[in-house]
Amino acid sequence: MVERTRRVGKKLPRKKRKARLRNKNLRRSKTELEHFAHIASHELQEPLRIVKGYLELFKARYHGKLDFEADDFIAYALEGTVRMERLIADLLLYARVGTEAGNIQSTDCEAVFDLALRNLGVNMDGQCGLVTHDPLPVVRAAEPQLVQVFQNLISNGIKFHGKERPSIHVSAKRKGGEWLFSVRDNGIGIDPKDAERIFAMFQRLHGVDQYPGTGIGLALCKKIVERHGGRIWVESRAGHGATFYFTLPERG
Binding residues vs ligand ADP (CB under 6 A) = 152, 156-157, 160, 185, 187-190, 198, 203-206, 213-219, 242
Q: Least distance in Å: CB of 152 to ligand ADP? A: 6
Residue 188 CB, nearest approach to ligand ADP (Å)? 5
Tell me how far apart the alpha carbons of residues 112 and 248 are, in angstroms, rounded to a whole number.
14
Q: Which is nearer to ligand ADP, 141 or 234 (CB)?
A: 234
Which residue sits closest to ligand ADP, CB atoms considered? Answer: 213
Distance CA 148, CA 16 (A): 38
CB 243 within 8 A of CB 234: yes
Q: How far is the CB of 206 from ligand ADP (least distance, A)?
A: 5
Q: Which H helix or E strand runs over 107?
A: strand 104-108
Give the span between the Cα atoms of 74 and 139, in whole angstroms.
Answer: 49
Q: Are 211 and 230 in contact (CB under 8 A)?
A: no
Tell me the pairing of strands 138-142 and 104-108.
Answer: antiparallel
- Taking the complex as a whole, the smallest distance from the CB of residue 4 to ligand ADP amounts, in Å, to 45
Rounded CA separation 248/252 (Å): 7
Report the residue number, 178 or 185, with the smaller CB distance to ligand ADP. 185
Q: Partners of 242 in the beta sheet?
A: 236
Least distance from ligand ADP to the Cβ atom of residue 169, Å: 12
CA distance linking residue 246 with residue 231, whole number of Å: 5
